[in-house]
Amino acid sequence: MSGKGKIYIRRGVKPHLDDPYLRRSAYKEPTVCPTCKLIYHNKRWFWDSKLVKKLEKEGAHYQKCPACRKIHDRYPMGILHLSGGFIRAHREDILRLLKNEEKRAMDKNPLERMISIKENDEGLITVETTSESLALRMGRVLTRAYSGDVEYKFSDTQKLVRIEWRRDEGR
């Protein structure tokens, strides 16, 4: 790392806390998510628009993917809070950066998505994600691009990370 921002590793916690939305048993193959059209095949989710059309004609199994279920239930596994005067002046650039990072993450794992982006009157932006790793990626890319102060808070009891990123104007 280049010294910008700090990453805190959990100590004394199980290395893999369970994601309640990931099934222990496999889905029937092939399964298509009716919401986003992801396909489950060979124990992984992926996008393939041609295959979806073929499977819809042949009669596939339909079940919501874990990401669509989290979005529907509003169950974030990563929460990113952005604050400070810098955000007002650079709002569009920051949001574009976060959306581009989501696209990069989805190329590797299509279950990593943003659930919501909320803004309040004071200029605080809150981003909720379907995975811890996407929130961590967003925190790192913000810190790399714009510096600022960042704090990572991991939950000991559930798979959840809260990231506080702040930069005041004129820094």
- Calculate the alpha carbon distances from 136 to 4, 24, 95, 160 in Å: 14, 25, 16, 11
Entry field: residues in the chain: 171
Q: How far apart are CA 82 and CA 69, in angstroms?
A: 26
What b-and-e string marks burial along 55-72, b requiring 16 or more CB atoms within 10 Å of the CB? beeeebeeebbbbbbbbe
For the ranges 20-24, 94-98, 141-145, the lowest mean pLDDT is seen at: 20-24
State mean pLDDT over 29-55. 93
Q: What pTM, to 2 d.p., does this model score? A: 0.85
Q: Say how far apart CA 61 and CA 29 lie, in whole Å.
A: 7
95-133 pLDDT, tens digit each: 999 999 999 999 999 999 999 999 998 889 999 999 999
**Angle subtended by helix axes 132-146 and 85-108, to nearest 10:** 130
Average of per-residue pLDDT across 86-98: 95
CA distance readout (Å), 65 to 46, 126, 168: 10, 24, 39
Share above pLDDT 90 across residues of the chain, in percent, rounded to a whole number: 72
